[in-house]
Structure 1
């Protein structure tokens, strides 16, 4: 009798200990895998692959938009009371698979798996992110997530990934890979390749890529750049051309820092005598995606809000670059460096390197203004933070007062850098703001 009682007590003690242990493990994996900072780390993994593979900014936006939408669709499926699918809101986006059994899905893990797998599929070389994908699964297992839940999360993630990837293949990206190159002519005021690489103009057919929210690539086109005029010193063009040179010749340390901080040249060619070598940084969309993570942390955003911030910003950047590129190759506007060399000083060079595509409108001005509207709608329009994005490239931090202030500074940086006229920046920012406002008004993500 006493032995039987002792056995019952021992069994009860062991059961209680096991229950406490399991509860502790459950809490452990949730506190780690449901941490929004881990999602930001996952996006940074994609950002690093984009950087290492020298993706130009417009292609980078395609990497970000499909992967973050995949993650968003999973959190929306996991919390339908507060979030709604983008299917139907983005008119050509198909209906997303629904989870058959939510009890066997950990939605944050599934969201990170989906982002990683889609990111892996739209970058190269294929497999670049699958090592990290396996790390996420191993982390879930080591933290005590039940195997049924790991498998369920992976299975649901795969259904979203397959649907997103099938949708992505219809955006005309593959068709534009074999499109004709930019036609270089000697027409006055027309863009021509710039030193030191004199590279082919990038992606002249990007306006043919399917938009997400805009009705057409030209819907928010930047309007009315000044007429090219180098004979009338009172013309808007001549004044703005001379401003680029005069500002560039007398930059303050602060202006130099602003130009370098927002340079975001993914592939700068350095020339020293006969030696040429490239250095890499984030592209403009990569910089803004990094800012999302910094802002989400400063705002104390939860996992789902953080995912929403990334997806909405990525959509805004994607459409902004399509809109901007439609303008660039409609106007084919000359770069400051080219015209200053032609009519003022053949030896003049900008502070930062001129990128290989037409000048008007400014890509950074357009995209930054669009991103600022998206981020303001998620995190508030007065969130201040320290942007540490460029520390890994040896460039000091900047204090940011708001997303819109950062966008205005990014646009102005192009004048300090000597690669854009003032009107490129100002009219580009106006266009980008319209794109961002349309994304915010048309997409109802959080209920």
Structure 2
């Protein structure tokens, strides 16, 4: 090809590009830049969620209810810090119980910097008792990401973007302070709580005989004002010591399963125990699963932040509901019943948590959380859970499920295998947990459509 021909081709290409830029000035290259921004923001959110999992394990006082509350506010904050550059999404203000916001969007915003500032502020506050080494890691994460995304941004825009993110986070923090659990991590075992004693009542259990955990948690403000209506009619089965009664048979089933030497029962019980100090608690486990499926499904930012916010609200309100009902019914644990009426030397695979038996918090959480995930992914998604793969104290081998329903059922029955819940309790609790999840999904509106 002759040089003049090559020059002619180059000129034609330049003219074509100029024409396209003239006709579609806002669309050329914009889509790629927007996509990169979305990817950056989602990566930032997922990194901070992973950090929250580690903080949950390492912060004193982060029992399951306390952790559920932290994840609830953090996930809503992540959504609110993102929503203003998602044209199809709307804020959750005024939908959530007591939450309003009045934050102006700056003229120029680097959204990665805004999200980084918001997420950092949220974790810094809700895990404010973190050990110094964890604080150093969190600070380093924030600094690293700020440096990465601010390198080609004007200082004025950097400052405005960070201020915006901080204002969003501070609005969430101020809202959280009025829910009744502001210092819950400092008062898991309130000394002013008096245990009611009766034959069917909960009492401290072997081996630790710990006092009642978070007995007032059910009085906290739910994120959705009407969520208590979902479980207000939940009823409990009758206490009875007759060997022909439903109650006795339920306890006998727990005893018989505990005597079964099938190792799978113990593996499942320990895998889903999610005890504080050893794991990210149930909340951290569910968010780890959610972020994993977000990645494997290549979910876009818009749906991912919607998923996280919905999941956080559902878990928070499910914890409030389950603990309200636990102390309302004040029901006896299987180990206490079995010691009294079946076998005094009985021991369970798991230690019974220090609060009443009915309903099951795990079943409430698994029902609510999986309904939320089903609303985004459907119920035919294969889930490979690797949350516990690095644990050495249990068999943390990855577990695979063919659906969220299958996973929720294993989570629920794991408490039966652990010897800490009656099967009838688990079935009822899983049902009501699912109702909570369905209610949250149906109630929260993320767009005006």
TM-score by length of 1: 0.85
Alignment match, 1:61 = 68
Superposed, 1:16-165 pairs within 5 Å as 30=36, 34=40, 36-54=42-60, 55-79=62-86, 81-101=87-107, 104-125=108-129, 128=135, 129-141=138-150, 144-165=152-173
Contact 1:113/1:133 (<8 A) preserved: yes
| Counterparts of 1:206 and 1:137, CA distance in 2 | 37
Q: Tell me the C-alpha RMSD between the 2 structures.
A: 2.4
Contact 2:289/2:387 (<8 A) preserved: yes
Alignment match, 2:21 = none
Alignment match, 2:375 = 377
Tell me the matched-pair count: 406
Contact 1:87/1:96 (<8 A) preserved: no
Superposed, 1:309-388 pairs within 5 Å as 309-388=307-386
Contact 1:372/1:403 (<8 A) preserved: yes
Moved more, 67-76 or 107-116: 107-116
Contact 1:72/1:111 (<8 A) preserved: no
> Which SS does the other structure have where 1:173 is aligned?
coil
Answering whether residue 242 of structure 2 is matched by residue 235 of structure 1, we say: no
- Residues 22-44 of structure 1 deviation map (CA, whole Å, 9 limit, x = unaligned): x9xx9799479616344222101
> Which SS does the other structure have where 1:59 is aligned?
helix
| Counterparts of 1:429 and 1:204, CA distance in 2 | 21
What residue ranges of structure 1 are gaps of 5+ in the alignment? 1-22, 268-279
Deviation at 1:218, TM superposition (A): 5.9
Deviation at 1:192, TM superposition (A): 0.9
Alignment match, 2:201 = 190
What residue ranges of structure 2 are gaps of 5+ in the alignment? 1-28
- Residues 82-139 of structure 1 deviation map (CA, whole Å, 9 limit, x = unaligned): 11110121142113413131xx323244224312211210223268333422232123
Superposed, 1:161-310 pairs within 5 Å as 161-174=169-182, 181-215=192-226, 217=228, 219-221=230-232, 223-230=234-241, 232-267=242-277, 280-310=278-308
> Which SS does the other structure have where 2:390 is aligned?
helix
| Counterparts of 1:94 and 1:434, CA distance in 2 | 27
| Counterparts of 1:300 and 1:251, CA distance in 2 | 41
Alignment match, 2:427 = 426
Alignment match, 1:401 = 402
Contact 1:37/1:293 (<8 A) preserved: no
Q: Are the structure 2 counterparts of residues 96 and 380 from structure 1 closer, same or farther at C-alpha, using a change threshold of 3 Å? A: farther
TM-score by length of 2: 0.84
